[in-house]
Amino acid sequence: MNADFWTDRPVFVTGATGLLGSHMVQELLARGAAPICLVRDEVGQSLFSRLGLGEHVVVVHGRVEDYGLLERALNEYGIETVIHLAAQAIVGTANRNPLSTWETNVRGTYNLLEACRRNDKTIGRVIVASSDKAYGDQPDLPYLEDASLIGRFPYDCSKSCTDLISRSYFETFGVPVCVTRCGNLFGAGDLNFNRIIPGTIRWALRDEAPIIRSNGKFIRDYVYVGDAVSAYLDLAEQMDRDEVRGEAFNFSDERPQSVVEIVDCVLQAMGRGDLEPKILGQGSHEIVAQYLSSKKARKRLSWRPRFGLEEGLGRTVAWYREFFSHWSAR
């Protein structure tokens, strides 16, 4: 980490109130950066709000679908670094309403990149959040960055498009873009309890059996949000290098887990191994197994997870215990 790299640097963060966005903004402030945060909805219980981050940053209210707003914000605040995290990230939501997902994930991405292209006098680096879902269903595991992007289902397709559009802006216009592909993120502040880790924690704290909507055999990467934040910022600091700029990077703990296994890990971290999950077997439009190799990030960026699964789960469980204790007291 370059101690002075982020000092007073104007950083435009989209999706700032989400799970990764909240942790990202918190860390940017800790490193002395000057975040400018795009916020669509005010979420009272979000980590962004609970930490009072809005009091220490510039908040731009709006949506990534609004091109004019993006161009104005990048220009007026003299943005040097862009971290694009805004997305509709829930698979079930995408299946129910693919149009809204494509509007946010696809149109939002090309809007932002076009605004960056038109502000090329100040923009020095752009990091776009893709996903392991961008690879679609691949015959070879773990996924490597040179695999084709063949998402078929709505969310997967939106991330394949995000990836390809980002590459196009680099290759055609020289916009300084890198793409990140992470597995399933978890950590303090995730209020989407449809996700397996926060959902399992809430059920266990209520002394209820966790519910697994699929057959429990789907295999995924689970990446602690603190490791993802360090990955993004490590990448940003190295984007002046030719072997980094314009590239995509996988970030993974490289310890894939089935749904049943990750639920068991959560329950063990909570001391609730006595709870037996209910398996509904209702999952559909999902890939059976997908997980990533981080060999490229390890080699080119010297990146390693700082926390890992066990420490990450310990920190996450502790946060939710406090969160629900405080909520009950109210």
Looking at the predicted structure, is the pLDDT value of residue 325 above 90? no
Per-residue confidence (pLDDT) for residue 44, from 0 to 100: 76
The pLDDT > 90 percentage for the chain reads 90
Q: Render pLDDT for 105-161 as a digit per residue (tens, 0 to 9).
A: 999 999 999 999 999 999 999 999 999 999 999 999 999 999 999 999 999 999 999
Per-residue confidence (pLDDT) for residue 92, from 0 to 100: 83
Q: Which of 243, 248, 260 is nearest to 132 (CA)?
A: 248
Task: Exactly one of 135, 155, 232, 291 is catalytic; name it.
Answer: 155
Q: Which of 266, 259, 185, 251 is nearest to 217 (CA)?
A: 259
Per-residue confidence (pLDDT) for residue 250, from 0 to 100: 98
Looking at the predicted structure, is the pLDDT value of residue 169 above 50? yes
Is 155 a residue of the active site? yes
Whether the predicted model's global pTM rises above the 0.85 cut: yes
Q: Render pLDDT for 266-287 as a digit per residue (tens, 0 to 9).
A: 999 999 999 999 999 886 677 8
Task: For the chain, give the number of residues.
Answer: 330
Domains of the chain, CATH where assigned: 10-183+225-253+290-306 (3.40.50.720)
Q: Render pLDDT for 52-68 as a digit per residue (tens, 0 to 9).
A: 999 999 999 999 999 99
Looking at the predicted structure, is the pLDDT value of residue 327 above 80? no
Mean residue pLDDT of the chain comes to 95
Secondary structure (H, E, C), the chain: CCCCCCCCCEEEEECCCCHHHHHHHHHHHHCCCEEEEEECCCCCCCHHHHCCHHHCCEEEECCCCCHHHHHHHHHHCCCCEEEECCCCCCHHHHHHCHHHHHHHHHHHHHHHHHHHHHCCCCCCEEEEECCHHHHCCCCCCCECCCCCCCCCCHHHHHHHHHHHHHHHHHHHHCCCEEEEEECEEECCCCCCCCCHHHHHHHHHHCCCCCEECCCCCCEECEEEHHHHHHHHHHHHHCCCCCCCCCCEEEECCCCCEEHHHHHHHHHHHCCCCCCCCEECCCCCCCCCECCECCHHHHHHHCCCCCCHHHHHHHHHHHHHHHHHHHHHHC
Greater pLDDT, 306 or 42: 306
